[in-house]
Amino acid sequence: MQIYLPIAEVSVNAFLLLGLGGMVGILSGMFGVGGGFLMTPLLFFIGIPPAVAVATEANQIVASSFSGVLAHFRRRTVDIKMGLVLQAGGLVGAALGVLVFNYLKAMGQVDLLVKLCYVVFLGVVGGLMFIESLNAIRKSKKAGGAPAARRQRSWIHALPLKMRFRTSGLYISVIPPVMVGICVGILAAIMGVGGGFIMVPAMIYILGMPTKVVIGTSLFQIITVTAFTTMLHATTNYTVDIVLAVLLLIGGVIGAQIGTRIGVYMKAEQLRILLALMVLIVCGKLALDLLLTPSELFSLGAGGGH
Amino acid sequence: MRRLLIAALIFALPVQAAEEEVVLGLSQDRVAITADFDGSEILIFGAVKRETPIPDTEPLEVIVTVSGPDHPVLVRRKERKLGIWVNVDAVLVDSAPSFYVVATSAPFDQVLTDIEDLRYRVSIERAIRSVGAAMHIRGAQEFADAVVRVRANEQLYAVRENTVAVDQQTLFRTAIDMPANLTEGDYTARIFLTRSGKVVSSYETTIDVRKVGLERFLFTMSREQPFLYGLMSLAIAIAAGWGASAAFRLLRNN
């Protein structure tokens, strides 16, 4: 069934969109990532104009994250206090990110820089997670499942403005979470994603939060940041396609529910290694696009606007 | 203004002198883009009206063109820099139609001479205007060619030779396929009658391509009330997220 998207001005198969939404939704629920880093390139691939894909994806992430976070709320795996601190940073970061984005746009190299951002961040984050999870699995097999000591005292514990985060079992300064929120917000706005794939490792490795709490909390934070981004895109660029969003989110919310259930039955290390693999695959694909000779050296854009 | 006037004169002259005139019919003069729009086919047909007997020179040939609204297009070219492919330069093509199809009753070089093509801008290459193309960039023509190539791959530009049927040098008809990825606007259909490569008569009419119904409503709202539109998008997203969560809980409890 073909459907014409009013803002994107292209006609696409409705079931293809439902399927894509569902697939990405499952991953979103399993790993606590919005799935934007996967969905946005997929939308480019099926012929949605990039500006519309990025803006609409932000709206879809709101839906799948909301659906996912409700399930986590019920299981009490959301650290609301930590989430609010991260959100405060995230909103500041997103606003800064939009400024940076517009500056890059004026220089005419925004596509390249967005892609390079993807390759660098996905590569580093995916690589680190993969190695770490592999080591964790090997260790737990050898030592008969004795958990490795995670929390060492480091510079993070020496900072002022300490706050107690009961759900995470942490007593740390608010400065690192706010900084993480700002950094992720900037990247999220530039790359047009929720930022979960950076947020999740940052929470685990920098803040030292337990993996089970990390997923719910990152979903909680993503909702606010992507809702803010959606409004920015809708009011300044008019690129949010509501029909596209509805089709993606019908698939997405159902997928997210299934994904959350699957996530409960998997071990944290297995979840992390799967997420690392996913991130590395997307990174590899984007890197190949930059390295291989493209079949068409020319690209068309709207004149005057850029 | 002067250029317009000259263009008008060029168009007007041969029509005045024509002994053969086009009488045109269209299967539809408007295309409505609805939610399930999946492309459209427009039948363009007509007859040649003449007071005098059919001239026994070269046979009559017919060219039909349909073009979408003109827009400037920024064409970027990639080059390998430090191992990765980077946009290195860009040329602004002043005006290129969003959609362009040429249908002819015989091979293109037989139905129209280059000079007449230049005058009436019939072929795809002539329909694209790039007067301001920066000359300092190597091969500015390559950029204009790229527009044609990229749009032809997207089925937006096409030359269909031998697809106009002409009967008895009097009746003609052709079908033009409009793809699903159409943009809105006033499309122009032009019909040229030619003999020995010269245009003897031409006719122009407009096909209205518009979004209707829900498509129209959403598009207008997104432009005129963007804040409300954004809030509506978010409300739908949150409602869908909550709905799915609640539905799954019900399913599991039963």
pLDDT tens per residue, range A223-243: 888 888 888 878 877 888 888
User: Residue A59 and residue B233: Cβ atoms within 8 Å?
Assistant: yes
Region A11-30 average pLDDT: 85
Region A149-166 average pLDDT: 64
Highest mean pLDDT among A47-51, A81-85, A159-163, A275-279: A81-85
As given in the structure block, the two tokens for residue A231 are 């409004």
pLDDT score for A147: 46
pLDDT score for A305: 42
Q: Name the residue with higher pLDDT: A148 or B149.
A: B149
Of the candidates A7, A62, A108, which has its C-beta nearest B237's C-beta?
A62
Interface test with A, best of B33, B89, B156, B234 (most A CBs within 10 A): B234
Helix ranges (DSSP H) in A46-156 = 50-74, 80-107, 110-142
Per the CB < 8 A criterion, the answer to whether A222 and A199 are in contact is yes
Report helix angle A110-142 to A80-107, nearest 10: 140
Q: Is pLDDT above 80 for A161?
A: no
Q: Is pLDDT above 70 for A15?
A: yes
User: Looking at chain B from residue 197 to 236, which residues have their Cβ under 8 Å from any Cβ of chain A?
Assistant: 211, 214-216, 218-219, 222-223, 226-227, 229-234, 236
Phi-psi region of A3 (alpha: psi -120 to 50; beta: other; left: phi over 0): beta
Per the CB < 8 A criterion, the answer to whether B72 and A304 are in contact is yes
pLDDT score for A146: 45
Distance from CA of A92 to the nearest CA of B (A): 20
Residue A107, chain B, CB below 8 Å: the answer is no
Per the CB < 8 A criterion, the answer to whether B147 and B75 are in contact is yes
Per the CB < 8 A criterion, the answer to whether B45 and A254 are in contact is no
Of the candidates A230, A234, A303, which has its C-beta nearest B71's C-beta?
A303
Which residue type does A26 have? I
pLDDT score for B100: 92
pLDDT score for B102: 92
Region A251-259 average pLDDT: 81
User: Residue B242 and residue A66: Cβ atoms within 8 Å?
Assistant: yes
Degrees, nearest 5: CA angle A61-A66-A70: 150
Cα separation, A64 vs A59, in Å, equals: 9
Cα separation, B29 vs B178, in Å, equals: 13
Residue A104, chain B, CB below 8 Å: the answer is no
Cβ-based contacts under 8 A for chains A and B:
192
Distance from CA of B189 to the nearest CA of A (A): 22
The secondary structure of residue A7, as a DSSP letter, is T
User: Residue A7 and residue B83: Cβ atoms within 8 Å?
Assistant: no
Please name the residue that has the structure tokens 């939404």. A21
Identify the closest residue of chain A to B142 by CA–CA distance.
A298
Per the CB < 8 A criterion, the answer to whether A78 and A69 are in contact is yes
Q: Which residues of A touch B214 (CB under 8 A)?
A: 6
CB within 8 Å of B73: residues ≥ 6 apart = A300, A301, A302, A303, B92, B93, B96, B147
CB within 8 Å of B146: residues ≥ 6 apart = A296, A297, A298, A300, B75, B77
As given in the structure block, the two tokens for residue B27 are 């299967």
pLDDT confidence bin for B77, thresholds 50/70/90: confident
Region A204-225 average pLDDT: 83
pLDDT confidence bin for B137, thresholds 50/70/90: low
| Whole-number percent of chain A with pLDDT over 90 | 0
Cα separation, B250 vs A243, in Å, equals: 27
End-to-end CA distance of chain A: 35
pTM, rounded to two decimals: 0.73
Per the CB < 8 A criterion, the answer to whether B26 and B205 are in contact is yes
HSE-up of residue A215 (Cα within 13 Å, Cβ side): 30
Distance from CA of B74 to the nearest CA of A (A): 5
Region B162-184 average pLDDT: 86
pLDDT confidence bin for B89, thresholds 50/70/90: confident
In Å, how far are A7, A40, A42, A302, B69 from A49, measured between CA atoms? Answer: 10, 10, 11, 11, 19
Q: Is pLDDT above 80 for B2?
A: no
User: Looking at chain B from residue 15 to 74, which residues have their Cβ under 8 Å from any Cβ of chain A?
Assistant: 33-39, 71-74
pLDDT confidence bin for A148, thresholds 50/70/90: very low
Mean pLDDT of chain B: 82
Region B214-234 average pLDDT: 86
User: Residue A257 and residue B150: Cβ atoms within 8 Å?
Assistant: no
| DSSP three-state, residue A123 | helix
Strands B30-33 and B198-211: parallel
Residue A11, number of CB atoms within 10 A of its CB? 20
Identify the closest residue of chain B to A61 by CA–CA distance.
B237
Residue B107, number of CB atoms within 10 A of its CB? 10
Report helix angle B226-253 to A242-264, nearest 10: 30
Distance from CA of A166 to the nearest CA of B (A): 26
Q: Is pLDDT above 60 for B134?
A: no
Residue A32, number of CB atoms within 10 A of its CB? 34
CB within 8 Å of A98: residues ≥ 6 apart = A189, A232
Q: Which residues of A touch B222 (CB under 8 A)?
A: 6-7, 234, 238, 240, 242
Distance from CA of B95 to the nearest CA of A (A): 9
| DSSP three-state, residue A32 | coil
Assign 3-state DSSP to chain A and report helix, strand, coil percentages, each to 5.
70, 5, 20
Residue B241, chain A, CB below 8 Å: the answer is yes
Q: Residue B18 class from Cβ within 10 Å (0-12 exposed, 13-18 middle, 19+ buried)?
A: middle
Q: Is pLDDT above 70 for A155?
A: no
Identify the closest residue of chain A to B242 by CA–CA distance.
A67
User: Residue A60 and residue B237: Cβ atoms within 8 Å?
Assistant: yes
User: Residue B35 and residue A9: Cβ atoms within 8 Å?
Assistant: no
